[in-house]
Structure formats: C-alpha cells, structure tokens
Amino acid sequence: MFEDKIEAMNKQPNAADDNSGFEKRVYTVEEIMDILSIGKNTAYALVNSGVFHFVKVGGHYRISKKSFDRWLDNIDNESSGCQVCD
C-alpha cells in the first residue's frame, strides 16, 4: 500500500532536479501526509516525534527519505504501537 505511493512519487518529475536523473532524497510534510493518509497536525507530530531524521530549511521541514522509508518498513516490528501518542 505505502510502497505503491512511494514508488509513484519517485516516478514523478521533480522541477527542482530538472529531470537530471537524481533520485528523490527528501520528502516534504505534505508528501508524508499523502503517503500515510494522515492530516497535517498528525504529520507534524510524527515528524517532531523523532522517529526519523529531518531538517528544517527556511521554515520548511525536509524529511530524509532513507530514514522515513526505513521507519516505514520497520513499523510492523515496533512493539510500542502509536508513534505520536502522548
């Protein structure tokens, strides 16, 4: 399910890289929202929970694709359940 969304995103042309053949290395919060089918507040809570790496560039979050994908692949192996619960 998630893999299909991620694969489709990687196939989309990215204006920032000018179709130069580079693979996408970061996600935006909006892309995380789309991949996981979650709302904005939940997405920001997840990003700020520290379960994957991110940087803030000019007020915008950029989430490491490698770190996010690793987290997503291992989510079934986690025993804690909810990643953003208080």
> Quick one: pLDDT at residue 73?
92
CA separation for the pair 29, 38 (Å, rounded): 10
* Residue 59: Cβ-neighbour burial (10 angstroms; 0-12, 13-18, 19+): exposed
Please determine, for residue 71, whether its predicted confidence score (pLDDT) is greater than 70.
yes
Q: What is the CATH number of domain 2-75?
A: 1.10.10
Element (H, E) at 76: none
N-terminal to C-terminal alpha carbon distance within the chain: 27
What is residue 24's predicted lDDT score, i.e. its pLDDT? Answer: 86
pLDDT at 3: 78
Measure the CA–CA gap between 80 and 5, rounded to whole angstroms: 25
Sorted by where each begins, the domain ranges of the chain are 2-75
> What's the pLDDT tens digit per position in 15-62?
554 556 778 899 999 999 999 999 999 999 999 999 999 999 999 999
Nearest to 46 by CA among 17, 18, 75, 19: 75
Q: Give the predicted TM-score (pTM) of the model.
A: 0.68
